[in-house]
Amino acid sequence: MPAPHAISGTVYLGRDWLLYADPELVFNLAENVAPALVLGPADTPATLTLRDGSEVCAPVLLHASGVWSQLIRPSALAFLYVDPLSDEGSRLQRRAQGRVLPWPAADLMSRHGIDLADLCNGEVRAEQLQRWVADVLAEVAGWSDGLSRMDPRLVGLRARLHQRGEGRADPAAIAHQLGLSAEHVRKLFRQQVGMTLSSYQSWVRLYQVAATACEAQQKGQPQCATELVNAGGFYDASHATRAIRRYFDLLPTEMLAPRAFVDCRGTP
């Protein structure tokens, strides 16, 4: 079993996305927490090994949420996770159809003016990265023209779930807010978002942990793992450890201590 590893790259935080880029990423089998674009070197693309032993190799990959993969050989790599309840995230998830697929545009990074090495080293400014993500997701929307937009009944749900990260999401309470039955909410959520409510809540918790750690680093405050996992609404430290290990193959202390955080939420 490989020794534990910290994130030696950079974590970029957007309003409805999270990106981490590492110059020598390697990870054991882990479940993808949100639909993601995986961006690697164009000349030596990284190979992801899936749970069934099959491999997928391409400069840009579309990785569905809920799919398990691992990276056996170290490679410079960036994961752009998109909130599954955003319009772009739901389109990515439905386009992926529960798989890991080569993305049609292999030059997605260079064509939009971003260098992978600069991304890994934290040398991309917040404003530049925000523009790049917006351009990339606009291109994603273009590739996904055949997919319908998010059901309007779910559009306002993201803000409410992010405000209430503690405990489990209550389908009955959500159903009452939407004027639907609890069973209809479960089916609608899975159909539109491609995951269960509890799976989405894992994304909410981990995003909130990253946001709290980012804000602490920006203010020069010490980062206490216990306080940060509490901020994410986890039941206790062991709950947080299991989730972070499952989705990132990291310990909480490793997840909270990358080379740098870059907060892109305040940029236009």
- Domain contains 25: yes
Total domain count, the chain: 1
**pLDDT in 10s for each residue of the chain, 268 residues:** 444 445 688 999 999 999 999 999 999 999 999 999 999 998 899 999 999 999 999 999 999 999 999 999 999 999 999 999 888 888 898 889 899 999 988 888 888 889 999 999 999 999 999 999 999 988 887 776 666 677 777 776 776 776 655 545 566 677 777 777 778 778 887 887 888 888 888 898 899 889 888 888 888 877 777 777 777 888 788 888 899 999 999 887 787 778 889 999 985 5
* DSSP-assigned letters across all residues of 187-237: HHHHHHHSS-HHHHHHHHHHHHHHHHHHHHHHTT----HHHHHHHTT-SSH
Q: Which domain holds residue 40?
A: 10-149+197-263
Report pTM: 0.89
pLDDT of residue 69: 97
User: Do the domain assignments include residue 106?
Assistant: yes
Which sign, positive or negative, has the C-alpha torsion 156, 159, 164, 165? positive
Decide if 172 is inside a domain: no
* The pLDDT of residue 5: 43
Q: At what angle do helices 197-218 and 182-193 cross, to 10 degrees?
A: 60
Does residue 69 lie within any of the structural domains? yes
* DSSP-derived secondary structure for 73-113: EEEEEEEEEE-TTSHHHHHHHHHHTTSEEE-S-TTHHHHTT
For position 170, what pLDDT does the model report? 62
Which CATH number fits the domain that encloses residue 49? 2.60.120.10
The C-alpha atoms of residue 27 and residue 69 are separated, in whole angstroms, by 9
Q: Is residue 225 part of a domain?
A: yes
Residue 148: predicted pLDDT: 64
Does any domain span residue 268?
no
Inside any domain, residue 219 = yes
Q: What is the pLDDT at residue 4? A: 42
**Would residue 44 count as lying in a domain?**
yes
